[in-house]
Structure 1
Amino acid sequence: MSKAELSIIDEVESALRIGSAEKGLETARRVTDLFLSSAGSFDDEQIALFDEVLERLIGTIELRAIADMGARVALAEISAQLAPIAQAPPSVIRRLANNDEIRIAGPVLQESARLDDGELVKIASSKGEPHLLAVAGRWWLKEIVTDALLARRYPSVSRRLAANPGARVSGNGFAVIVGQAEGDPELAVSVGVRVDLPSELRRQLLRSATDTVRTRLLSARRRICSRKSRARSPPLPPASRARCPVSAISKAPSAPSQVSRHPASSTRRRCSALPSSGAMKKPSRRWRCCRNPPSR
């Protein structure tokens, strides 16, 4: 181990031995800052060291966080700092994600790439609605995770999943959402505009939808189509190009150039394109006579 690593371990041991809440919080912040300063350059062994050190500190802080608001704030800050880091210590992330305080668990539940599908399914099956809402807002979710979330039947979670384009939903999952949407106009509109909604379930949704919901669905589909059309933004449709005078002019074939009947005019044009470096010879007497033939 390097001197820096030994120093970290000694500091952690000292903080744990003293048992001071302030000392533990200060050490946890320092270790987190040290990790963040070079997070992209650590190897697996160094990440494992930070993982062990921070998990011990966080475990101690969690015991005090029950009655200490400052400890809860510190853990929430650490969670927010580590959530977007791809190389974040995995055991620390899992520990934070399973914290019952949503302010602590929320950032890593919603953003951390260190949480695999198995851990997300476990949390979706055991935690409360706020934790499930955080998971439902992740940028990418597989069917195995969304099935676990929808099995809990929270309408708020279904709305967030339906509105999340990165959440992949199975046929059974869509059936749950469509069933809930019969009495939930917001959910009906959110799921009705999804392109991956099976056709049979779309027809079921429209049969049970009110006129207001159908109108909103039609309006939402038009907005989506309009945005897609603007994103492609062709220069001009073919019909417009045909009627456009500028386009017509630019596409019109060039008129054939008139050729002078006098041979000298064509020759003069060819000669003018030659470099003026003296390569052009002085016309002969015969040529001068040809240019001005004597009248007969």
Structure 2
Amino acid sequence: MYVITILGNFTILFIVKTVPSLHEPMYYFLCMLAVTDLVPSTCILPKILSIFWFNSREIDFSACLIQMYFIHWFSTMESGIFVGMAYDRYMAICHPLRHSTTLTNNNVTKIGLAIVLRSTMLILPFPLLARQWPYSRTNLIPHIYCDHIAVVKLACADNRISSYYGLSEALSVIGMDVFLIVMSYIQILRAIFRLPTKDARLKTFGTCTSHVCVILAFYIPIVFSALTHRFGHNVPLHFIILIASVHVLVPPLLNPIIYGVRTRQIRDRFLLICTYKGS
């Protein structure tokens, strides 16, 4: 999984960089997504491999807090990128004549910086609050990585501030982002159904299928993970760990595969590179 994730996302970055026709907002957002996907994979998977290969089941507390920060930063960042992608599709389909003048390179850069700033500021209290709680001498996390709620539950103090902040951050970010994405696609579907022919409708909606697939692959596990962590008291622990792991590890693996298969320009360029190397 780690090798495929690294190769897949670096391939996306390489293809977009080397093909001038792909220097468009849609592919800039895709590059942001690829860079974001590399962060949790690099923060988590090497440690997971050391657990399985070398039975290295310990992590320094500061390293645990850093890992916690980047895991949740990844979730908030990726959610914001999906909103940016939805806005790009909305402008391209509903307002095609204004698309190039609205989503200029400068505006895409501003959107990217706003997504980074939002993620950084919202997630920063996670490690700061977790660091201030007292912990017992034996700290065992029933998890393969330092999830925020798993660490906070070990505190020997009233940790409701951390718990409530984590829940409110997840609900507000996911709720707002999902609402914006849904509203964008409602407008997109209305525009698609106004097209005169079935072929035109299918072709136009085909430009959105990759985005829809990666959104589902991201949000379904994260919602299940958040709900089972806080309310699934009768859910088996191994199932909670599995869902949380799927949320963090699977989207970075699937995103480049989905876009590589569903996006003709990327697929053709990748096949051209493979054919050239094969000859």
TM range (shorter): under 0.3
Greater share of residues in helix: 2
TM-score, scaled to structure 2: 0.25
